[in-house]
Chains A and B, each alone.
Chain A
């Protein structure tokens, strides 16, 4: 032990500036080596495939033979492709269902659970309720899809049976098979899937808030709604930003739910860009065109992520 202390003291004496912000760099003594495995794997799995995909998007390629350079032809075709525009329109619906609605509902629920149930009924009740809302989040989307497509089945589906049982038989629908309805049905399922995430993040965020703020507001006679607007919302703004950003990105990328619930149907009514590119790759084997679709989607997602990161940086400061 004494040896260590002595060596420490000696080393400290040798570098008078050792306490300053910049530590002296010895040659060959860099932490960069630790990045090497990650960087190599990253290159092989993300960078190279991504560049290949972008490259392929400028070619005409069926997946066999050699790709033929076709310049912007795929992108020009996209502009006139009604299916492509429809899939992006559906993406906006997904943003509403997976980001906007869950965030709004999640805020109210989180505040109610934290500030009301937690205070009057205790932590146990709060934890159980929170768990119920979070449960769908741990479910593989394939399983959620099986559950819901069976519940929503036109014949013998639980929802239709329930409607009949309570005397609303006239409201029975082919929920996933009706082109006018399918997109809204998928949206409803996605709200169910997604709600737990914002709820749990917001409840975690609310634990940061100084309880004195609420007590003071309550003493001043502020009702629940006013406390929500003037304390809860401003205090967990960073969490709201993060949740909105992540959920919007998740919404743009949604694939599994569409694959399992509707396969993009009926008649393309629920097609989304990721599913559209998937079928273009593997069913129509128009690899160049599929690559162009996924490239457009990527640009959109990355642009959104960059804007989000910038905003987050600004609010962090």
Chain B
């Protein structure tokens, strides 16, 4: 009895803390469906009287949100796939091939990922103008493929370092080329880790801000994050529109989260152990 009495206060405290973490999401959702008149009258904390969707619709049309979604999906999706492929190639050479000087190669990749993007941003901006890639989605895809693959290489190299050597050796003795070993054995066996990387790369690229902000200046090429960040910076929005923007911005994130919760936690576990 006494233990039961002592248990609940802790649980309640944790629930209150969890509520505090999620409250901003709730207020945004509440206010995104209020009309401006209602907001002006009752303030941000009241419950909505009706279900007002014009704010969301206006905002969607005003920023051409569908287009931004397409851009974000296109960029993040391409980066995720390309970066996983690049990571696998690198990690295959390092983890299974055990190429000479692999510690150094690995260190270089880690440092590339750790490097502040500010130290790359101006030259990347300048070079992309020189080669005609400035303000193209392709430029952002190329840059993030390399940056994400740097992390992917670091993680995968250690995973592949523990890959059962007998399987690789047996296949080699059977006459499989390295290329075949990679695609028919190593990749299928490592699929869970690759899936985790794919999800991470997608979400990280989706959330990236600085480089897309610099590289994608035209409205037609901007990602969701940049479009929202720039609007916010201009402080042109009224309260209803701000909430519409916030709601539309957080919905995709919420969807990823619900879809990939297990992958995310598993991925963090994989990443942390190394």
A residues contacting B by CB (< 8 A) are 4, 7-8, 11-12, 30-35, 37-38, 41-42, 44-46, 48-50, 52-54, 56, 63, 109, 112-113, 116-117, 120-121, 125, 128-136, 138-143, 145-151, 156-158, 161-162, 165, 192, 195-197, 200-201, 203-205, 207-208, 238-239, 242-243, 249, 252-253, 255-256, 259-260, 263, 273-274, 277-278, 281-282, 287, 290-291, 293-295, 297-298, 301-302, 305, 309
Q: Which of A56, A204, A249, A305 contacts B123 (CB 8 A)?
A: A56
Q: Which of B90, B203, B228, B272 contacts A35 (CB 8 A)?
A: B90
The answer to whether B90 and A46 have CB atoms under 8 Å apart is no
Identity of the chain B residue whose Cβ is nearest the Cβ of A35 in the assembled complex: B93
Give the total of B residues in contact with A, Cβ under 8 Å: 96
Please give 6 more A-B residue pairs, beta carbons under 8 A apart, in addition to A35-B89, A139-B249, A278-B210.
A50-B119, A117-B14, A143-B246, A156-B239, A293-B118, A298-B118
Q: How far is the CA of A204 from the CA of B263 in the complex (A)?
A: 12
Query: Which residues of the other chain, A, contact B214 by a CB distance below 8 angstroms?
Result: 282
Identity of the chain A residue whose Cβ is nearest the Cβ of B42 in the assembled complex: A161
Chain A at the B interface: SS class = helix
Q: A112 with B10: in contact, given A129-B15, A142-B232 (CB under 8 Å)? A: yes
Query: Which residues of the other chain, A, contact B108 by a CB distance below 8 angstroms?
Result: 42
The answer to whether A294 and B118 have CB atoms under 8 Å apart is yes
The answer to whether A309 and B14 have CB atoms under 8 Å apart is no
User: How far apart are A204's CB and chain B's nearest CB, in angstroms?
Assistant: 4
User: How far apart are A236's CB and chain B's nearest CB, in angstroms?
Assistant: 9
Q: How far is the CA of A138 from the CA of B267 in the complex (A)?
A: 14
Identity of the chain B residue whose Cβ is nearest the Cβ of A295 in the assembled complex: B119
Q: How far is the CA of A158 from the CA of B142 in the complex (A)?
A: 41
Identity of the chain B residue whose Cβ is nearest the Cβ of A202 in the assembled complex: B272
Q: How far is the CA of A33 from the CA of B264 in the complex (A)?
A: 32
Q: A129 with B44: in contact, given A146-B228, A287-B122, A290-B122 (CB under 8 Å)? A: no
The answer to whether A298 and B116 have CB atoms under 8 Å apart is yes
User: How far apart are A242's CB and chain B's nearest CB, in angstroms?
Assistant: 6
Q: A32 with B93: in contact, given A142-B209, A256-B209 (CB under 8 Å)? A: yes
Q: How far is the CA of A238 from the CA of B44 in the complex (A)?
A: 44
B117 at the interface (CB under 8 A from A): yes
Q: How far is the CA of A269 from the CA of B254 in the complex (A)?
A: 32
Q: Which of A37, A147, A150 contacts B89 (CB 8 A)?
A: A37
User: How far apart are B1's CB and chain A's nearest CB, in angstroms?
Assistant: 14
| Per-residue interface assignment for chain B, residues 93 to 135, with 1 indicating a CB less than 8 Å from any chain A CB and 0 otherwise | 1101111100001011111101111111111101100000000
The answer to whether A31 and B122 have CB atoms under 8 Å apart is no
Q: Which of A112, A260, A273 contacts B14 (CB 8 A)?
A: A112
The answer to whether B119 and A53 have CB atoms under 8 Å apart is yes
The answer to whether A161 and B45 have CB atoms under 8 Å apart is yes
Q: Which of A141, A150, A203 contacts B246 (CB 8 A)?
A: A150
B219 at the interface (CB under 8 A from A): no
The answer to whether B120 and A135 have CB atoms under 8 Å apart is no
The answer to whether A201 and B272 have CB atoms under 8 Å apart is yes
Query: Which residues of the other chain, A, contact B47 by a CB distance below 8 angstroms?
Result: none
User: Which 6 A-B pairs have CB atoms at the shortest separation, nearest pair first?
Assistant: A31-B97, A142-B229, A204-B269, A143-B249, A49-B123, A132-B18
| Per-residue interface assignment for chain B, residues 4 to 33, with 1 indicating a CB less than 8 Å from any chain A CB and 0 otherwise | 000100110011011101101101100000
Q: How far is the CA of A255 from the CA of B105 in the complex (A)?
A: 28
B146 at the interface (CB under 8 A from A): yes
Query: Which residues of the other chain, A, contact B111 by a CB distance below 8 angstroms?
Result: 302, 305
Query: Which residues of the other chain, B, contact A140 by a CB distance below 8 angstroms?
Result: 206-207, 209, 224-225, 228, 249, 253
Query: Which residues of the other chain, B, contact A131 by a CB distance below 8 angstroms?
Result: 257, 261
The answer to whether A151 and B27 have CB atoms under 8 Å apart is yes
Q: How far is the CA of A137 from the CA of B111 in the complex (A)?
A: 23
Query: Which residues of the other chain, B, contact A38 by a CB distance below 8 angstroms?
Result: 86, 89-90, 149, 153
Would you list 5 pairs from A and B whose C-beta atoms are within 8 A, ordered by A residue? A31-B93, A35-B93, A37-B86, A112-B10, A162-B45
Q: How far is the CA of A205 from the CA of B269 in the complex (A)?
A: 7
Query: Which residues of the other chain, B, contact A49 by a CB distance below 8 angstroms?
Result: 119-120, 123-124, 127
B138 at the interface (CB under 8 A from A): no
Query: Which residues of the other chain, A, contact B142 by a CB distance below 8 angstroms?
Result: 41, 45
Interface residues of B in 63-114 (CB under 8 A from A): 86, 89-90, 92-94, 96-100, 105, 107-112, 114
Identity of the chain A residue whose Cβ is nearest the Cβ of B101 in the assembled complex: A32
B43 at the interface (CB under 8 A from A): yes
Query: Which residues of the other chain, B, contact A139 by a CB distance below 8 angstroms?
Result: 207, 249-250, 253
Query: Which residues of the other chain, A, contact B127 by a CB distance below 8 angstroms?
Result: 48-49, 52
